[in-house]
Structure formats: structure tokens, C-alpha cells
Amino acid sequence: MSRKTTVILHNRVSENATPDDADVLDQVKLVKCALENLNYDVVTLEFDLDLKNTSMELKNIKPEFVFNLVESVENNGQLIHLATSLLEHLKIPYTGCPNEAVFITSNKLLAKKILKGEGIKTPEDENTRPFIKGKYIVKSVWEHASIGLDEKKVIYAESPEQITVPNGFFAERYIEGREFNISILAGKVLPLAEIIFSNYSADRLKIVDYKAKWDKNSFEYNNTPRSFDFDEKDEKLLERLGKITRKCWEIFNLKGYARVDFRVDENNEPYVLEINSNPCISEDSGFYAAAVEAGLEFEEVVRLIIKDLRVQPSGICS
């Protein structure tokens, strides 16, 4: 049986890359191994702003499809959609979420507007009226992976005039309560996970900030374990979270794999924090953990992602 060629496309990683940026190389190794086991010849290709050069290389390789692992372009999350835009232009099938979904979900404010329009709750921002006084978290509109997020970005405001955010940022109301990460693979919701804030004092904000995700020596990283174990009393809540996740998949036309992050308040009311199209799938990621909990080998995960390609391969770049 002849082996077909595929390309793993990923963002260029600098020598002094931060952990969140360098993590994509771990994903490349993992996916490459799985693809080779699935009988593909694999070529890895870095993506940057030299679109002409990338186009020429892809045309020369003639891949069956591209496994898209581009998370940012030159450390700018606002440019993430350039990779899928180029692949659409070249008419090359690619894994994961389509171009529109990548763009819309990467812009948190745009995604929140769509969620509200569909009747799905998401935390209010500084422009919501009537304004709700309380704690607000200053977040980047475009960057994911909790980049730039820490306790210093949390402010208390009694009026919108007390909130000032720099360009490219917004303030989102802090929801006191529980946090859930729900992964979905080829339209199937994987086991639901809750982030447990262990050893957090009463006055410490329970947020999954940059340290909690990337600084392995920090208190936050070592005290925010992921749990898949729930009491019977959570059954209705879990069912509701699963339904909302599935609805988000349909609303945003997601494909391949995604993750939806939630906060649940003291009244058991869920709020969608973010829609993560093409989330991290390295071995220490939430998506990988959910797949393991579902009893899936990573090779099977990759096979299902390929099977869920929006456009099936047929004579690419001929």
C-alpha cells in the first residue's frame, strides 16, 4: 500500500520562545508519530508571514492534506487565521476548524456577541448595560493560552468609568464559582473536566492564569489539578454543559476538535468563557487528558480529526 504525503503546518518558534509558544513543537512530534503510524509520509513546515514562500513549498510537496497546528503568527494571535486563509486559497484540505471559525473564535468579543445572540450566557464586559458592579478581569481580545493573564489584571469597579483597558483588551466580569474545560472531538463531547483550585485561600482569586498553565514551578500550576470525578448531584449540570458545548460546535461550525471553557456560578448557572478552536493537544493538555479519559489512543484521535476534514482530499495541488 503506497504511503501518501501530508504536511504538518505550525508556527515558527524562536530560540528564546516562551513555554506557551514552544509547546507547539511537542504537538508536532506527537502528531508526526501518529500520522506515520497511520501510514503517511510526513513533512513539517513552519508558517510565517512569507506567504509566497509557504505557497510554493506546499505546491511542490502536493500534500494529501495539511494538519494545521498554527497557533499564532510571529507571536501574534490576531494573525492565526492567515494559515487557514492561505490553505483555503490554495484549495488544500486541512484539519481542524475552518477559516471563519478560527477567525471568529479567536476574537473573544466577536465570539461573545454571537453567543449572546444565540441565548448562551457569557460573562458581561465593561460595555454591557446595565453595568454590573464587581470584579473584572482584563483580557486580550485575541491571545489565548491565558497569555498576559494574572491576578494583577483583576480590578473592582462600581461603574464603567472606573474601567480603563488598553487597545486590544477588554474587561470581563469575574464569575465566582467552578471552572470546567469541555473537549469535543469530531462532534462528540469527551468526558467533562473540572479544574480544582486546591489550597487556594478565601481571598485568592480562582482563575486559570498564565502561571497555572505554563509555570511548572508556580503555586498556581501545582494547585490546579484536573478532575473527571463527579458526584451524582452534578449529573444535570454536566448534561447541560455537554449540550451547550455541542451547541457551540454547531453555531460556530467547528470541525475536527475544539474545547469550550466554562465558569459555573453559585446558582449552577453556566457561562461560556471561550471557544477554543484547534486547542493544544500536547500530552499535558486538557484535550489530551479528556481523550485518555474516553479510552482513546492518540493515534485514534488523529484518525478521527482527519476523518472530520471539511473537504476530503482528492488530487490536491495537481
pLDDT at 75: 87
Mark the ranges of the chain whose per-residue pLDDT is less than 70. Answer: 1, 144-152, 310-318
pLDDT at 313: 55
Please give the class, per CATH, of domain 4-96.
alpha beta
pLDDT at 315: 42
pLDDT in tens, 217-232: 999 999 999 999 999 9
Q: What is the pTM for the complete model shown?
A: 0.93
pLDDT at 1: 59
Q: Where are the domains of the chain?
A: 4-96, 105-277
User: Which string of DSSP letters, residue by residue, matches the chain?
Assistant: -PPEEEEEEEE---TT--HHHHHHHHHHHHHHHHHHHTTEEEEEEEE-S-HHHHHHHHHHH--S-EEEE---BTTBGGGTHHHHHHHHHHT--BSSS-HHHHHHHHSHHHHHHHHHHTT-----BTT-SS---EEEEEEESS--TTTT-SGGGEEEESSGGG----TTEEEEE---SEEEEEEEETTEEPPPEEE--TT--TTS-----HHHHH-TTSHHHHT--EE----GGGHHHHHHHHHHHHHHHHHTT--SEEEEEEEE-TT--EEEEEEEES---STTSHHHHHHHHTT--HHHHHHHHHHT-SS--SSTT-
pLDDT at 305: 98
Please give the class, per CATH, of domain 105-277.
alpha beta
pLDDT in tens, 80-92: 999 999 999 999 9
pLDDT at 316: 42
Kindly tell me the burial class for residue 278, based on how many C-beta atoms sit within 10 Å of its own C-beta (0-12, 13-18, 19 or more): buried
